Copies of this chain bind each other. A is one copy, B any other.
Amino acid sequence: MRKTNEVEQLIYLFSKLPGLGQRSSRRIVLHLLQEKEVRLKNLMDGLALAASKIQICEICRNIDSHNICHICTTSDRNKSIIAIVETVAELWAIERSGNFNGKYHVLGGALSASMKKSPDSLRLPQLLERCMNHGVTELIIATNATLEGQTTAYFITEYFRNYNLKISRLANGIPIGGELDYLDEGTLSLAIALRQPFD
């Protein structure tokens, strides 16, 4: 099979995206090339716009078109409570559940056994500073119910143990091994409502 370098390269780039393999990438690339002037152009424009506009929030690491995100900026949300999530995907999942009105701290991933993700990258000193100086009274640890997520939750609990903060985790009800982004909204909503204190 000989394709042009440009097509091969584009298929390769798509195949590196999460959930995509060779075949699905081939179909996507052909779909885009079939109506190049419309489909390829629209996607390029969308990517260019995102590349130029999207920033990472300096406070919570949500993504937004401002360097302080809309969740951190708004006065409509309860700033005394912070949900700690692994990535923006889980932030979105919690927002979809519609049952949380506090602020967030995005870790940027869980601690991994191979330590590709180091404790430093969790930015816990910055979170502590938010807690001390901005009236935060409660942390909800909303890491995934995976081994890495639970390890991370334990690490965070230890880190904040000696401060006067209520630390809770999502209620049982989340299946073991489950990932938040794959849960139905109802289960996740319930897990927030029934959240339990740590230890």
Of the residues B19, B29, B53, contact of A28 by C-beta under 8 Å: B19
Of the residues B6, B17, B29, B54, contact of A53 by C-beta under 8 Å: B6
A107 CB → nearest B CB, Å: 12
Tell yes or no: A46 within 8 A of B by CB.
yes
Tell yes or no: A30 within 8 A of B by CB.
yes
Pairwise interchain contact B47-A10, C-beta atoms closer than 8 A? yes
Within 8 A of B (CB), among A12-59: 13-14, 17-20, 23-24, 26-34, 36, 40-44, 46-51, 53-54
Of the residues B7, B20, B30, B63, contact of A4 by C-beta under 8 Å: B63
Number of residues on chain A facing chain B (CB within 8 A): 52
Q: Which residues on the B side are within 8 Å of A28 (C-beta)?
A: 17-20
A1 CB → nearest B CB, Å: 4
Pairwise interchain contact A30-B65, C-beta atoms closer than 8 A? no
Tell yes or no: A154 within 8 A of B by CB.
no
Tell yes or no: A3 within 8 A of B by CB.
yes
Interface of chain A: mostly helix, strand, loop or mixed: helix
Tallying the copies of this chain within the complex gives 2
Pairwise interchain contact A65-B6, C-beta atoms closer than 8 A? yes
- A32-B50, A33-B63, A33-B88 given; 9 more Cβ-contact pairs under 8 Å: A1-B92, A10-B47, A10-B49, A13-B43, A18-B31, A19-B27, A27-B181, A30-B88, A40-B47
List residues of chain A with CB under 8 Å of any chain B CB: 1-7, 9-10, 13-14, 17-20, 23-24, 26-34, 36, 40-44, 46-51, 53-54, 63-65, 70, 87-89, 92, 95-96, 181-182
